[in-house]
Amino acid sequence: MRPRIPVLTLICLASIIVACRPRTTPSPSIPPEEPQVTEPKEPITRRLQFSPSIYRYHFEQATQITANGSTDTTPSTITTRAQIIVTVAAEPSSDVQVSISFDSISISTQGSIPSRGFRQVTSLDSVLQARFSAAGTGTVVETHLADSLCAYSQFITAARELLLPELPMQIENSETRVYTDSMTQRACRGGVIVELTTVRESRDLSREPPEFMLRQRTEIAGSGQIRRDSMTVSGSILTHGAATFTATNRLPSLVETQSEGTITVQLGNLTTAFRQTSHQQMRLINPDNRLEH
C-alpha cells in the first residue's frame, strides 16, 4: 500500500502597485533581458555488447510471507542463496549463445513455513539458454527444468531477469528507450501446477554508467487436487528495480529488485490469502570476466 500523500492547500495573494510618474520626466527605458543560451548536452556514448567469457554472480533472495486472517500462522521468511554461472560464447555466424546455471544453492526457512519435504538440490545445470541473433532477428530463449524440479522455477525467473532478453544483443545510442517482454512458465505452488504470466518493461535511464529501470507484473493461476480436496491458486505480484551495467559489457554488473503481491489459495472450503514481499539481488563477483576456480 502506498503511503498517503497529504494534500496541501496553497493560497496566493496578489497585490497591485500603482506608481505615479511626473508628466515632465519620461520614464527610463529598460533594456530587454538577453535570452539565456543553454549549451546542448553531449549525448552519452554507449556500446554495450556481449564479451565471450564465463561470469559468476552472487544471488540472494529474501521473501517474507504472511497469511491474512490466520491466527495460527506467523510471518515467515524464505532465504535463498546461490552462485550463478553465466557462459557467453560467440558463434561463427556472429550470433551469441548464453547459458546460465546455478550452483551452491541454499534455501532456508524461518517461521511457520515447514522445511521442504524433499531432498534439496545444490545445483541446476544450464536452466536457461539463449541465442542472440547478430542479424537483428530477435532472441530465442529455451528453459531446461525437469517437471520433478518445478518447485525451483524461481531460478528460471531469476535467470531471465539477469539476462534481460528483451534488450537487443548490442545496446547503442538510439531513440529507443523502452523495451518490453512477456513470458509464460509453469511452476509448483503448494503441490499444484500453476502458470505464471509475466509482462516486463525495461526503461533506459540514459545514465552513465548505463542503468535500466525494471518493472514487471506476474499473474499466477492454477488448480489441482490435494488428496480429496480441490485446490486453486491465484495471485498477482508487482516487481520493480534496476539493472546497472559497466562501461561496455551487455551483461549487467548488478540487478536489484523489490516485489510485493498477494497469492490466494483455496483448499476445499478454506480460503487463505498470503501477502508476499521479496528483495532480490544478483551481483557480479568477477568484473574481470574470469571465473575464479
Q: Which of 278, 293, 243 minimizes the C-alpha distance to 60?
A: 278
Query: How much is the average pLDDT of 198-209?
Result: 91
The letter for the amino acid at 181 is D
135 confidence band (pLDDT: 50, 70, 90):
confident
Q: What is the mean pLDDT of the chain?
A: 80
B/e letters for 208-238, b = 16+ CB within 10 Å, e = fewer, are eebbbebebbbebebebeeeeeebebbbebe
Give the residues across from 250 on adjacent strands. none
Q: Read off the pLDDT of residues 260-273 as tens digits, 9 standing for 90 and up.
A: 999 998 988 899 89
Say yes or no to pLDDT of 285 above 80.
yes
Helix/strand/coil (H/E/C) assignment for every residue in the chain: CCCCCCCCCCCCCCCCCCCCCCCCCCCCCCCCCCCCCCCCCCCCCCEEECCCEEEEEEEEEEEEEEEECCCCCCCEEEEEEEEEEEEEEECCCCCEEEEEEEEEEEEEEECCCCCCCCCCCCCEEEEEEEEECCCCCCEEEEECCCHHHHHHCHHHHHHHHHHCCCCCCEEECCCCCEEEEEEEEEEEECCEEEEEEEEEEEEECCCCCCEEEEEEEEEEEEEEEECCEEEEEEEEEEEEEEEECCCCECCCCEEEEEEEEEEEEEECCEEEEEEEEEEEEEEECCCCCCCCC
> Residue 230 pLDDT more than 70?
yes
pTM score of the predicted model: 0.78
Does 115 have pLDDT greater than 80? no
User: Distance between CA 261 and CA 275 in Å, rounded?
Assistant: 6
Query: What pLDDT digit, counting tens, does each position of 22-77 carry?
Result: 333 444 444 454 555 444 455 566 788 999 999 999 999 999 999 875 545 567 89
Q: Are 233 and 189 in contact (CB under 8 A)?
A: yes
d(CA 277, CA 66): 9
Position 204 scores a pLDDT of 93
- 13/215: higher pLDDT: 215
In angstroms, rounded to a whole number, what is the distance separating the alpha carbons of residues 250 and 169? 8
What pLDDT score does 248 carry? Answer: 87
Q: Cell 494534500 appears where? A: 7
CATH (one of 1.10.8, 3.40.50, 1.10.3470, 2.30.230) for 47-284: 2.30.230
